[in-house]
A and B are shown apart, each in its own frame.
Chain A
């Protein structure tokens, strides 16, 4: 009888210890925002400083870091709203506004609805060579027109 009681006591003391070796693994899907920063030439903006501002805290960055060699940076937004991201390196860079939908909704759909996934900052790389050529020619045509106008007005005045 004594043996049974001692054995029970020992087991009662050891079992919780044995259970403590178990690991509770869970998962929770989260929205990850990935930013890609590149120069007009297509070269990645590597090792650039990134500051992320939460929707309700526009004054102080809640997340800071640097881009990797591919010019990429990832962060996990913890609340919905308009997140502001600043990427900068030696006077180059810009701002990005990222709409984050509440939990349960797909951010991508909201993002596409609010801001289509195109570069938010105007860049020469957005245009095709034909478009750039047309823009340059349009400005040159304007310059030549202005020159001709001033020239003809002046000739009339002289004559």
Chain B
């Protein structure tokens, strides 16, 4: 679900870079304002970026093509605004090493993956404290599946809107419908993964989830950082 080089007009690529650059700047600014200690988020950011990159190498064969894991909902839940940074770095590595997407379309792909992660973060932040504990798995399912479906929708929208007039629109619509259907099992799988993650962390380390909401200087994200 990455747009490769050469299929989108240069203007779209430029707009993609401008929009994702702005979103990245906004994310960094928000993180900087939310925490006194900017180093606190770096370890989590680095590890989850690595996980996001690794997930892209895990293939799930769904005819006609194959899909790979995204973990966008989980990134949003665990990183908040930092999800955008993880997505941009992860996508750059995927483009350079695996050929997933391209460097000219990195901005567009960052928007396609970054916006769902940020939406998941915003929804999680808004409802987590008010959400009944028994329904946590449902929230995880909604966030995980919703993020994938939103990413598929954005991908389809970019592809359809940037189609040249010379192409057979109906044929492309059919092909895009097949791609959307192929991603439905992935959406369910990611929903289950995010739900399991939420339930597990809520039981074992609830403060890990609340740190995803806001990185305040008062609550240290890492207990080992506190001198004893």
Contacts and interface: CB of A to CB of B under 8 A. Distances in A.
A47 B155 contact: no
A101 interface: no
Closest 4 CB pairs of A and B: A143-B50, A122-B99, A150-B42, A90-B175
27 contacts: A39-B66, A41-B61, A43-B65, A47-B175, A61-B166, A66-B171, A88-B167, A90-B159, A90-B176, A91-B159, A91-B179, A94-B4, A94-B5, A94-B7, A95-B6, A121-B99, A122-B98, A124-B99, A126-B99, A135-B57, A135-B98, A136-B57, A139-B93, A140-B50, A147-B42, A148-B43, A153-B39
B97 interface: yes
Interface string B85-106: 0000000010001111000000
Contacts of A47: 171, 175
A124 B66 CA distance: 12
A71 to B, nearest CB: 10
A32 interface: no
B46 A155 contact: no
A144 B47 contact: yes
What band does the interface of chain A fall in when counting residues whose beta carbon is under 8 Å from B? Answer: 35 or more
At the interface, is chain B mostly helix, strand, loop or mixed? Answer: helix
B225 interface: yes
A153 B40 CA distance: 10
A81 interface: no
Nearest to A129: B57
Contacts of A153: 39
Contacts of A142: 50
Contact of A150 (B39, B54, B61, B100): B39
Contact of A124 (B100, B159, B172): B100
A7 B90 CA distance: 92
A139 B37 CA distance: 25
Given A43-B66, A91-B159, A136-B57, A154 B225 contact: yes
Given A43-B63, A86-B6, A91 B176 contact: yes
A155 B225 contact: yes
A86 B159 CA distance: 15
B17 interface: no
A139 to B, nearest CB: 5
A58 to B, nearest CB: 12
A47 B178 CA distance: 13
Contacts of B227: 158-159
A91 B1 CA distance: 8
A112 to B, nearest CB: 22
Interface in A61-75: 61, 64, 66
A142 B168 CA distance: 45
A26 interface: no
